[in-house]
Structure 1
Amino acid sequence: MKLNSVRLTNFRQHAQTEITLGTGLTGIIGPNGAGKTTILEAIAWALYGNPAIRGNRESIRFMGAGARAPVEVELDFELGSHRYRVVRGLTSAEVYLDGSDSPVANSITAVTELMQRRLGMSLSEFFHTYFTGQKELSVMAAMTPARRGQFLSRVLGYEKLRIAQDLTRDKRNRVRSAIDGMQRGMPDPEAILRALAEAASRKEEAEARAQQAAHRGAVRQREMMAIEPRWEMVQRQREQSAQLLTQITVAEEKEAALHRDTERITRELEGVQAARSQLDSLREAIEPLFALNVELQALNTLYREEGRRKTLLEAEAALREEIARLEERHTRIERAPALEEEETLELEKKRAELEDAQGLLEARRTEWVRDRQEAQTKREALRQQYSELKHQRDRVVALGEDGECPTCSRPLGGSLHTVVEHLDEMLETVNVDGSYYKARVEQLEQMPEDVQQLDEKRRTLMQEVGTLERRLAKVQLAVQELGTIVRDIAAKQQRQVQMQRDIARIPAGYDPARHADVIAEVDRLTPMEAEAARFQAMLEREPQLKLEQTRIAQEIMRVQSTLGTLRTRRAQISFTEKDFNELKADYDRVRMELQESKVAAARAQEQVSSATAAMAAAQEAAEDLKKKVAELDVLQTDRRLHDELDRAFSDLRTDLNYQLRPELSELASAFLSELTDARYTEMELDDQYNIVILEDGIPKPVLSGGEEDLANLVLRLAISQMIAERAGQNFSLLILDEVFGSLDEARRLNVVELLRGLQDRFEQVILITHIEPVREGVDRVISVRYDADRGCSIVTESEGGGAEIGVGEELEPIAGERGARVRPRLPEESLEAGAA
């Protein structure tokens, strides 16, 4: 595999970077964090997609790029006899083959699968083959022997065998669990055979009992067939006798009812004769009733109107009193508007006096508070001054002539008495002033008399203003009430006139005594009128009663004839209750025995069905046991197969691990011979996977620092060679990322020289480092630095061993020749590319 060029657009800190990679030893040099390893990450992302990046997909977008700016990596490389160009973005990917304009794959998944298929490596195998990361050259030296073997197995892909073996063991464990579960769930074969024999025996016994029950049922059926006709006949006779008896009873009851009706009609005809004799006298008595009813209706109307007159008179009297009360109230408050104006003027005058008094009070009170505060402040200041002077005097007296002057800090000497006297005078002055301000404070503690008088005047004025405000409120309410009273008087006077008109229209002439007499006479004659009406109705029913009397007599003759016929028919039926009871007992006995035989037959048949079902269940259990035995045999075979497969995987891993050290030693020996010009021709890995270099067939007991670096390098190359051979690829590319670690300058140059010695085997070697002196030993240099002003990485190219081309200029690679040939790119172009 050979990398030709890579172009990064808005990929992490690379806004616009394009690099042409040639053959030979190329150094990618720059400080930590400049974006060197990001170039390798972009190459891996172009080939394998998102699994190859650090973080998530959204984290690779350049921070300075716009929301719609493209994120893209374009990788051009050769593999075998073909040249590939891979273009991958966040949401798209394409692969072009041998310079074609049409992609051979044009989706993210298709491109990733195509690259993995053509390279023949997974992402992990690709990294372990072509990439050597930071500090990986000496990584095995820090491991234990067991960890070294696991590390080699993992990077060479032997872990796949372990994973396959683990899957095989999981499947074998599941098969074993299935076998254990099936064996625990399988029934006992002997128990199934016993159940089958018992079911057959139960079926034979049940069938015998069913035959016996069927025979008993047939005998009872014949007895029932013999007695059932006799029973049905006696039941019919009994029913006919009961029906005739019922009909006779109904006819006798009907005959008795007809006789009662005859007696009732006779009594009613006698009552008609008595009513005819009383009706004429009743008609004469109730003749005035109609005129009395007419008069009563007129009197009732006058009675209602008289009640309405009384109600209206009472309401009119109450309304007259209300009008008089309102007119009296109107007289009392008709001066309210004039009083309102007078009270308002008086209130405004008092309020002005209150404001003046309050202003004067506040000014005088403020003056008093200020004087008191000033006196207290002066007194406190004098107290503090007195304390300080007393302290100075005591200190001066205590120190004597050797003390310092409190003013000029010079020794007092003979001036002690003068200073003390001066301090005493000052103390006396402060004491006198303090006594004055003490008396002044005590004097000002009580409110001055003029302030008290002003405060009393203010309270008096406030009370007078409050009284005037309340009087004004009452007057204003009276003004509002005055308008309401005028309207109420007018409305009530109008209602009074209407009431007087209604009273005048009510008719007069109501006589309570006549009203009571008429009511009493109507109450006396009304029952007599009802009695006369009843008698008249009885006279009108006389023809109907006579017709009904004749009809009832005819009906009695017909019912008596029917009774004779029914009694004769009942006497002709040969039925006795004794014969019926004896035959009923025989029938019930036979019916009961027949029912019992049917129940016994059904129970016996149910036992036969149960025994048959048990027989079928036992046979089914036997068949199920046979199937489970067959399934168990299959599972046992599958278990033996997975046991053998597990042993085979173990043997294969053992063989591969056994062959691993000799094969790695052989490949490493070849690299070692080339790098040392055949000084050292043999290198081995011992049982602990430690590196052993042989010189003339003799192991070297101690390796120098350079020899140790060399040994680690050839071992890493041998591992990569094995991975490439297993993938079917030519091992022509080697990428080393920060492999120097903490090596000193001499050992770093030694490793670079060793890498230069591999050019015959490795066509393309890329060395990534932050160590600047390494540029002297490589064929070409790709410098990477981070521009803080532009917020992106800047990539420049130069020949190995020299300075960069230009200051602040970028180089545009030109492909087509061995090595990297560049031309300067103008700063304006670089700025535009970074902004994109």
Structure 2
Amino acid sequence: MHLIKLELNNYRRFEEALIEFPDGVVGIIGNNGAGKSSLVEAIAWVLYGNDVARSSKEEIKRLGASPSEVCRVILDFEMNGDNYRVVRELKGVSNTADAALFVNGRPQARGVTATSKLIDKTLGMDWKSFLVSFFARQRELNALTEYQPAKRIEVLSRLLGIERIESAIKKLRQDKRDCQTKLETTRGFVADVVQLQQQLQLKQKEQEELKKQISQKELQLKLAKTEFARLASEFELLRSKKENHNRLQKELEIKQSQLKDIEVQMASLQKDKEEVLRLIPSQEELKPYLDRHSQLLTQLVEQEKLKQKTSTRKSVEEQIKAHQDFLKQDQQRLQALQSDLILRPGLEKDLAELNQRFIHWEQELDASQKQYNLYSAQEKSFSDQVRKLQKQLRHIEELGPESVCDQCLRPLGKDFEQIKSHFQQELDQLNSQAKTAARQRDQHFQNIQNAKLEGDKLQKQKELSQSKLNQLEQAAEEKDNLERRVLQSVQNLENFQKAYQELGTQPYQPEVHQKLQEELKQAEAKKQQYLQVSERIKTLPQLEKKLQELEQRRNTLAEEQNRFTNSLEQLKFDPAEFQQLESELEQQRQKLHQSELSLKDLRFTEMTLA
């Protein structure tokens, strides 16, 4: 067994792998967990299936493969000049196993069981022997040594072929014993030569007699064959006549059946024709109802118009009353608005005066604000000067009369008091000016507050006047809309009154309308009955045409029936004659067969004697 190629799909950790084995020793090198053991195990698994796997079949399929993907291993190897291919698969969600074996490209086994049996037979070992001989899993190299001696001898004998040699030796010994037994038995049956010669003479006489019997039997057989051929020829002629008879009889039955169907159809059509003819008087009786139906429809249309006019007249009356009410309300509202709009010029004049006063107020407020800002600035300036002089005065007092002037660098001396007096006068003057500016500032601040109050009052008066004026403007707009609506209402009212006059005063009578409806319902039923009768009468020409066609068809079938009947009479086929000839032919066949058997027996006896 020489490995050629190994192909893996979704087996263990291999999604796809293809390995070609070169000649010589092959080594597989890789890190732990790279899949070396899985590759070697795949060879055992493809040959023997799940029995040699290290785990259950659920763990053989690659982790991450979808249920629709197939776990497959294909092994190609050569043995004794033949090329083998083994395919083993796990399919579907339940990992259903399947296998196949091909030899020289031709399928030899399909299915797990058949493939495994053929593998066992081809390799001469089952999976257990394979595991302890050619294939050893990790940590299982001592499996063969753990067998009992008798089991170990049995396995090694099967692997080395010794078992077949021992089986052949046993068979040869048995054949030798059988030959010796036959020889001893034959020796017991060997007779005297003289006795054998006498028996030979008797057998020769029997053989001569058998030859005569064989000649007679051959002559009888020849005559029997001739007679059988004659009867067979006559039977074939009669059988052909029977087939023609059966064919004609079948055609005759078909024509008879067709003729019967046509007669049934003609009877049905004739019945329909008679019924249609009976309907003609009814059609004449129902015809006046058509005119009555048209008159009733016309009257009902008039009643429907009257009903519609009455309903419309009532609706128009309601519309006229509603428009009159609306017109009255609009006119009253229009008078009220006209009274309110008389005040509009006075309000516009007041609002103009308020706007002028508001502008004057804003100017006065602005002037007061400017004066206030001016006096505030003056008061602040005087205060700053006071603080500055006070600071200088305190500085001079701290220095004393013996100090030196900052400006001229002369001692103050006797001018010290005069300088202090001068500073004090300036301080008093500045304080007086600051107080005056503060009074003026406060006065203008009060003026500003008073002006703001006056402004708020003016603003409220202005807003009130503007609000009243806006209301009057809305009233003016409403007045214009009302005037247009009043004109439209007057026009609509005139139109409704004109339409009311055009509708007339003819009254609508519901009882007359209902009576006409009932009469129309009866007339409608009569009309439908008339239309049905008319439609049925229209079919009369078609019925007559169909009857003529069926009559012609019936005559044609009758002629064909007579022709087939005449053909059957001319054929003159006798079923009794056919059965008698068939019986004679069968008897002759039995006789011929018996002669052939007798001749074979005689010839066998002759051959036995020879």
Compute the TM-score of the two structures, normalised by the length of structure 1.
Answer: 0.34
Q: Tell me which of the two structures has the higher relative contact order, counting C-alpha pairs closer than 8 angstroms and 6 or more residues apart.
A: 1
